[in-house]
């Protein structure tokens, strides 16, 4: 499989104001995250709010500055590129956000909103050319070209998400980072947008990073799933393995929370006590220890490393510290 992106020890800390003379403190939002993204795959990233998944997406696209680590794209560490040198590559990495209404200017016709990146990047040089491109993009996302002249308020949530997808596709990206891209939508509309993502992926040969707090959404779209907790990767494996050979207790808990209306034997719901700990001064041992139903003595004191315990199956947990699954 071809790697399209290689992420190495990526870390993002945010400064916390701690008084004039206080010791410097940091939010450990993303810590030593390493993974490869393969061309044409959908990698789902799942975790509760506060797990660092959105920050990871933003850092990857250089929307916020990283603290340390590397992200290699087209043989270049894009983290170390200055914005002038990143310009051409930026077009190939685009983001779709949760709330399309917030990202669309209410006073700009949706056609012009889609045309804007084309004009700004001089992909088109005349209004006629821009219009033609926008028509193609509208059709691509399943909207009629007559809608060019309409304003955002005239659209439903699902249609607005189609519009922002069209805008994200305008510059022909190779990688699309979707951050909670269907989370604001009704379940039936979610399914339509997920289908759209799937068909666009095939048509345009896209690679997705699909971020969501909702494992049932991620499950249906992803080839592989990455589970994050408090800034770290806890488990990373192909989707079928995540569900059939679940290794990490946190992943087990997330899976147990997915409702299964059709299944006869009810899965036992694992209730996690308490909240995700503060990302300021995270626990020194396993970051999940305070809520883990399998925690052992070692878990409080020793930070588990992430290990490939089966081919393509990575887990960070002392239960598998020997490096193989028993
Ligand atoms: Fe639970 Fe310990 Fe594994 Fe952490 S390392 S997930 S606390 S068993
Ligand atoms: Mg988020």
The residue to mutate among 230, 304, 325, having the most atoms of ligand 1 within 8 angstroms of its beta carbon, is 304
Residue-wise pLDDT for 271-313, tens only, equals 888 888 999 989 999 999 999 999 999 999 999 999 999 999 9
Measured at the CA of 39, the angle between CA 214 and CA 64, to 5 degrees, comes to 60
Percent of the chain with pLDDT over 70: 96
Q: Give the model's pLDDT for residue 264.
A: 61
**Computed from CA positions of residues 181, 255, 227, 207, in that sequence, does the dihedral angle turn out positive or negative?**
negative
Q: Give the model's pLDDT for residue 263.
A: 63
Ligand 1, atom 8, residue with closest C-alpha? 295
Q: Give the model's pLDDT for residue 266.
A: 66
Q: pLDDT-derived band of residue 207, with 50, 70 and 90 as boundaries? A: very high
Q: Do the Cβ atoms of 10 and 56 come closer than 8 Å? A: yes
- Ligand found nearest the CA of 315: 1
> What's the average model confidence in pLDDT over 127-150?
96
Is pLDDT at 84 greater than 70 in this prediction? yes
Ligand 1, atom 1, residue with closest C-alpha? 295
Better-predicted residue by pLDDT, 148 or 100: 148
Contacts of 183 (CB under 8 A, 6+ apart): 98, 212, 213, 214, 217
* Cβ < 5 A residues, ion ligand 2: 54
Measured at the CA of 132, the angle between CA 127 and CA 133, to 5 degrees, comes to 100
Q: Is the CB of 306 under 6 A from ligand 1?
A: no
Which ligand 1 atom sits nearest the alpha carbon of residue 292? 1
Alpha-carbon distance 111 to 147, whole Å? Answer: 8
Q: Do the Cβ atoms of 235 and 242 come closer than 8 Å? A: yes
Alpha-carbon distance 279 to 281, whole Å? Answer: 6
Q: pLDDT-derived band of residue 134, with 50, 70 and 90 as boundaries? A: very high
Residue 92 backbone phi and psi in degrees, to 5: -85, -10
Is pLDDT at 200 greater than 70 in this prediction? yes
Residue-wise pLDDT for 15-65, tens only, equals 988 888 888 889 999 999 999 999 999 999 999 988 999 999 999 999 999
Our CA dihedral for 72, 74, 75, 78, rounded to 10 degrees, sits at: -40
Is pLDDT at 217 greater than 50 in this prediction? yes
- Lowest-confidence segment of 84-88, 206-210, 223-227, 248-252 by average pLDDT: 84-88
Q: Is the CB of 299 under 6 A from ligand 1?
A: yes
Q: Where exactly are the structural domains of the chain?
A: 3-92+173-320
**Burial zone of 149 (CB within 10 Å; 0-12 exposed, 13-18 middle, 19+ buried):** exposed
Better-predicted residue by pLDDT, 109 or 184: 109
Q: Is the CB of 291 under 6 A from ligand 1?
A: no
Which ligand 1 atom sits nearest the alpha carbon of residue 289? 7
Q: Give the model's pLDDT for residue 326.
A: 46
Q: Give the model's pLDDT for residue 11.
A: 98
Is pLDDT at 139 greater than 50 in this prediction? yes
Q: Give the model's pLDDT for residue 175.
A: 98
Residue-wise pLDDT for 95-111, tens only, equals 998 876 677 899 999 99
> Which residue, 315, 249, 241, 297, is CA-closest to 323?
315
Entry pTM: 0.94
In terms of C-beta distances under 8 Å and separation of at least 24 residues, what long-range contacts does 219-222 make, across chains too? 219/44, 219/243, 219/258, 220/194, 221/42, 221/44, 221/194, 221/197, 222/42, 222/43, 222/44
Q: Does domain 3-92+173-320 bear CATH number 3.40.50.300?
A: yes
Ligand 1, atom 7, residue with closest C-alpha? 289
Ligand 1, atom 6, residue with closest C-alpha? 317
């Amino acid at each position: 499989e071809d790697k399209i992106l290689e992420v190495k020890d990526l870390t993002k800390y945010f400064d916390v104001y701690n008084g004039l003379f206080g010791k410097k403190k940091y939010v450990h939002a993303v810590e030593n995250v390493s993974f490869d993204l393969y061309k044409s795959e959908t990698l789902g990233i799942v975790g509760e709010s506060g797990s660092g998944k959105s920050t990871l997406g933003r850092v990857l696209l250089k929307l916020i500055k990283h603290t340390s680590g590397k992200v290699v794209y087209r043989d270049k560490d894009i983290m170390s590129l200055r914005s002038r040198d990143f310009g051409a590559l930026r077009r190939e990495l685009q983001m779709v956000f949760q709330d399309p209404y917030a990202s669309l200017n209410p006073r700009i016709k949706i056609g012009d909103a889609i045309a804007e990146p084309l004009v700004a990047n001089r992909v088109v040089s005349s209004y006629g050319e821009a219009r033609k491109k926008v028509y193609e993009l509208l059709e691509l996302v399943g909207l009629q070209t007559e809608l060019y002249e309409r304003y955002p308020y005239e659209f439903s949530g699902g249609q607005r998400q189609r519009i922002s997808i069209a805008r994200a596709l305008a510059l022909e990206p190779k990688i699309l980072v979707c951050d909670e891209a269907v989370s604001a939508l009704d379940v039936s509309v979610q399914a339509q947008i997920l289908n759209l993502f799937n068909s666009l992926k095939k048509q345009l040969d896209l690679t997705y990073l699909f971020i969501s707090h909702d494992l049932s959404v991620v499950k249906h779209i992803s080839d592989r799933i990455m589970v994050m907790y408090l800034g770290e990767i806890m488990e990373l494996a192909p989707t079928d393995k995540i569900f059939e050979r679940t290794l990490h207790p946190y992943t087990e808990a997330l899976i147990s929370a997915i409702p299964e209306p059709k299944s006869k034997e009810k899965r036992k719901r694992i209730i996690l006590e308490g909240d995700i700990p503060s990302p300021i001064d995270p626990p020194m041992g396993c970051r999940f220890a305070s809520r883990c139903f399998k925690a052992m003595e070692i878990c409080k004191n020793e930070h588990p490393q992430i290990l490939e315990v089966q081919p393509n199956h990575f887990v960070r947990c002392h239960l598998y510290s020997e490096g193989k699954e028993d």
